[in-house]
A and B are shown apart, each in its own frame.
Chain A
Amino acid sequence: MDFEFFFQQLINGITLGGVYALIALGYTMVYGIIQLINFAHGEFFAAGGYMGVILISYLSAQGLHPYACLGISLVLAMGYCALLAMAVEQLAYKPLRQASRLAALLSALGMSIFLQNGLMLTQGVYDKAYPTEITSGGVEWGLISVSYMQMFIVSLTVLLLLGLNLLVFKTRIGRAMRATSQDKVMSALVGINSNRIIAITFAIGAALAAAAGIMVGLYYGSVSYSMGFVPGIKAFAAAVLGGIGNITGALVGGLIIGMVEIFAAGYISGEYKDVFAFIILIGVLYFKPTGIMGENVDDTRV
C-alpha cells in the first residue's frame, strides 16, 4: 500500500518533471548562448499548446487517424513556434544585443505580456479542450495506474532530448552553437554567422516548448492563454537548479522540481508543494550557486 502510493507518486513526478525539463531546455539554451533570460519562453509553450488543439481538431475533422493527427500536429506546432521565436528574437532581442542586459530582460518581460494578451485576444478567455480519444486508456497494477499519456510524455521527452544531444554534440550546427556560446567575437572571426546560430537556438528551444505545450494539453485535457506563466517560472527554476546553460542540468533540474512538487503534495500537503520546490532552489543557489551540474559549464553549455 505505502509502496504503491510511493510508486504512483514517482510516476506522477517523472511525468511532470519531463514537461518542466522540456521547457527548461529552451531557457537554458538561450541563456547559454546570449546570457538572456527569455521570460517570453513560457508563452511559446502556451502558443504550442493552442496550435496543437487547433490542428488536432482540424485534422480529426478531416477523418484522419488520431495518432496521425497527433504526429502531424506535433511537427507543425513545433515548426510554428520555432518561426514565432525567431520573429520574436528579431523584433525584441536582436536590436538590443549591444544594450545592457537589463534592457533585454525588460524587453523579454514585455514580450511575455504581449504574447499572452495576444493569445487571449485571438483565442478568447475560455479554456480550449483537447479531444480526449487519443489520451484515454492506460495500464493498471493494483493501485498503481500509468496512463498511455504518461508513457507518451516520458518517451517523447527522452526522444527529443536524445535528438537535441545529437544535434549539439555531433553536428556542425551544434559545434557552431557551442563555439558561439563560448565566444561570440572569436567564433564570428572564424566564419560562424552568430546571428544565424542565435536564431536557430531560439527556434530549437521554442520547438521543444511547443512539444511540451501539446503534451500538457493532451495530458490535462485543456489549454488556457495564461498557462505559460507558472510552468515558465518552474522551468526557469529548473534551469537554474541544474546549472543554467547546461542541457543535462535542465533535465536533472526539471526532474527534481517535478519530483519535489509531487512528493511534497503527496506526503505533506498540496498547498506547500511550490514552497518546497523553491526552497530546494534557494538551497542549491546558496551552497552551489552554479547549479547542480554547473562545473563543466564551459564545454557543455550551448
Chain B
Amino acid sequence: MKRLIVLAVALAALGLFLAGCGEEKAGEKVLKVGTMSPLTGPYAADGNDIRQGAEIAVEVFKEAGGIEGFTNIEVIPQDTACDPKQAVAAANKLINDQVSAVVGAYCSSSTIPSSETLAEENIIMLTPASTSPKVTERGLPYMFRTCGRDDHQAPAAVKFMKEVEDVKTIFIVDDKTTYSQGLAEGVATAAKAVGIEVLEHDHVNQGDKDYSAVLTKVKSANPDLFYISLQNSATGALMVIQAKRMGIDAILMGQDAVYHPQLMEIAKSDSEGMYCTFGAIDKDAPKYKEFLSKYKEKTGNEPGAYSAYAFDSATAYLMAVKEAGTSDPAKVREALLKIDFTGASKQVKYQENGDSGSNYTVYKITDGKFVPYWNSLTGEKY
C-alpha cells in the first residue's frame, strides 16, 4: 500500500513536470530575454534585485502594448550562484531556450566566462552590475555594461578621501573576490599616488561572520579612514556593527556592493555616517518614480542597489529591438549604440566598447537612508 502511494505521488509529480513542457505553440514569435544572477547563495539579495528589475522592465513594455512583430515578451531567469561554472551552464541553458539577449550577470567572475559562451551564439549581454574593467575590454561586440567601472570607482573614492575628508592614513579590507580585491587594489594604488598612506591592506574570507581579529588590527593601527571592500552588503553590515562595537572611530567607507538597503536594515544606527560610492541616481526623475512605484507594487520591497540598472539594461534592449524591428543581433547592436535615454538609474548611452560611462557619487548614510553627499564628476557637495 505504502509503495503504491509513493508511486502514485511520483507519477503525479512527473505528470506536473511534463505538463510544464511543450507550452510553446507553433507560428508564434516570442521575444525571450534571459536573466543571469545569483538567486541562491550569499549574493542572492542582489541577484533577486536584478531579476526583478528586468522583469519589471518587460512588464512596463507589455503594458505599453508590447513590441510589434512579437506576440509576447518572456523573461527566463537563471541562477549563477556567483560561480563561473554555474554561470556557463546557465548561459548554455539560455542558449537552448533560444533567448536573444541576457541581462546579467552579477559577479564579474561569472560574467566574463559566460559572456564568451553567449558570444559564440551572437547573443547580446547587458550587465547591470559587473564593474570589472575586463568585462568590456575583450572586444566582444555584443557585450554591454549599464553600470560603472572599478577603475573609475577607485579614483573617485580616493579623490573624496583626499579632497573632502583630508584623510592621511587608510586601512583596507577586501574579501578576495575578483571584484572586491581588484577594487581594493585600485584604491590602494590611487591612494599612494596622492600621498595617502595605506597602513595595511588585509583580506578576509567570503562567508566569514567573525571579523574581530582583523578589526582589532584596525583599531590598533588607528587609521583616519577604514575602507571596506566586501562583495556582499550583509557581510558589510556585520563588519560595520563589529567595528562600532569594538570602538573604531575611523571614517567608514564602502563601495557599490555594500550599497544596499540591507546594510542599514542589519547594521541600523551603527551604519550612520558611513560613506559608500555608487552611481548617481536621480530619485526625482520621472523614469525613476515610475520604476519605483511599479517595483513596490509588484515585489512589495524597496528596490535594491542594482534593480534600477537591471531595469535600464532590459529597457535599453527592448527599445533597441523595437527600433530595429527585429531581434537580429547585428541590427539590435546598431540600434543600441544609437540609444540615448534617461533611465531609472542614469542617462543611458552606450559607447562603442559597450560601456556606458561611470558617474560615481559618494553617499552618506543619514537617518537610515543613502543620501547623496558628494559628486565625483563635479567635485562638489550636494
Measuring CB to CB, which residues of chain A are less than 8 angstroms from any residue of chain B? 1, 4-5, 8-9, 12, 15-16, 120, 125-127, 129, 132, 136, 138, 140, 143, 145, 147, 149, 216, 220-222, 224, 226-227, 229-231, 261-266, 269-271, 273-274
- A241 vs chain B, min Cβ distance (A): 18
Which residue from chain A places its CB closest to the CB of B247 in the assembled complex? A145
A132 close to B213 (CB less than 8 A):
no
- B72 vs chain A, min Cβ distance (A): 28
B266 close to A262 (CB less than 8 A):
no
CB-CB contacts below 8 Å: B138-193 with A: 173, 176
Measured between beta carbons, the chain A residues less than 8 angstroms from B265 are 129
Chain A proximity mask over B201-212: 1 for CB below 8 Å, otherwise 0: 011110111111
Known contacts A9-B216, A145-B247, A274 near B266 by CB under 8 Å = no
CA distance A125 to B216 in the complex (A): 30
Residue of B176, B247, B266 touching A222 (CB-CB under 8 A): B266
Measured between beta carbons, the chain A residues less than 8 angstroms from B378 are none
Known contacts A16-B210, A138-B245, A273-B205, A221 near B267 by CB under 8 Å = yes
A126 close to B241 (CB less than 8 A):
no
- Of the A-B pairs whose beta carbons lie under 8 Å apart in the complex, a sample of 19, sorted by A's number, is A1-B220, A12-B210, A16-B210, A16-B212, A120-B40, A126-B45, A126-B234, A127-B266, A129-B265, A129-B266, A132-B269, A143-B220, A145-B247, A221-B237, A222-B234, A222-B266, A226-B41, A230-B209, A271-B204
Task: Give the secondary structure class of A's interface.
Answer: helix
Measured between beta carbons, the chain A residues less than 8 angstroms from B10 are none
Residue of B42, B213, B238, B246 touching A265 (CB-CB under 8 A): B213
B220 close to A129 (CB less than 8 A):
no
A221 close to B238 (CB less than 8 A):
yes
CA distance A126 to B42 in the complex (A): 9
- Is B369 an interface position by the 8 A CB rule? no
CA distance A261 to B212 in the complex (A): 10
User: Would you list the 9 A-B pairs with minimal beta carbon distance, nearest first?
Assistant: A265-B213, A125-B44, A12-B212, A271-B203, A127-B234, A270-B204, A129-B266, A266-B213, A221-B241
A220 close to B241 (CB less than 8 A):
yes
- B369 vs chain A, min Cβ distance (A): 16
Measured between beta carbons, the chain A residues less than 8 angstroms from B217 are 5, 266
Measured between beta carbons, the chain B residues less than 8 angstroms from A145 are 245-247
Which residue from chain A places its CB closest to the CB of B181 in the assembled complex? A271
Interface centre among B217, B266, B267, by most A CB within 10 Å? B266
CA distance A14 to B222 in the complex (A): 24
A273 close to B213 (CB less than 8 A):
yes
Known contacts A9-B216, A129-B266, A224-B234, A270 near B42 by CB under 8 Å = no
CA distance A231 to B265 in the complex (A): 24
B41 close to A270 (CB less than 8 A):
no
CA distance A212 to B266 in the complex (A): 19
CB-CB contacts below 8 Å: B233-247 with A: 234, 237-238, 241-242, 245-247
Known contacts A15-B212, A220-B210, A125 near B266 by CB under 8 Å = no
A270 close to B203 (CB less than 8 A):
yes
- B98 vs chain A, min Cβ distance (A): 28
A220 close to B247 (CB less than 8 A):
no
Measured between beta carbons, the chain B residues less than 8 angstroms from A8 are 216, 219
- Is B48 an interface position by the 8 A CB rule? yes
CB-CB contacts below 8 Å: B86-104 with A: none
Q: 7 new A-B pairs (CB below 8 Å) besides A145-B245, A220-B241, A271-B176?
A: A120-B44, A125-B44, A129-B237, A132-B269, A132-B270, A222-B266, A265-B213
A143 close to B44 (CB less than 8 A):
no
A127 close to B262 (CB less than 8 A):
yes
Which residue from chain B places its CB closest to the CB of A272 in the assembled complex? B203
Measured between beta carbons, the chain B residues less than 8 angstroms from A140 are 247
- A145 vs chain B, min Cβ distance (A): 5
- B362 vs chain A, min Cβ distance (A): 24
Which residue from chain A places its CB closest to the CB of B207 in the assembled complex? A230
- Is B57 an interface position by the 8 A CB rule? no
Which residue from chain A places its CB closest to the CB of B39 in the assembled complex? A125
A262 close to B212 (CB less than 8 A):
yes
Residue of A15, A129, A132, A270 touching B202 (CB-CB under 8 A): A270
Interface centre among B45, B209, B234, by most A CB within 10 Å? B209
- A71 vs chain B, min Cβ distance (A): 22
CA distance A125 to B44 in the complex (A): 6
CA distance A298 to B174 in the complex (A): 46
CA distance A274 to B45 in the complex (A): 26
CA distance A136 to B269 in the complex (A): 11
CA distance A282 to B112 in the complex (A): 36
CA distance A74 to B269 in the complex (A): 25
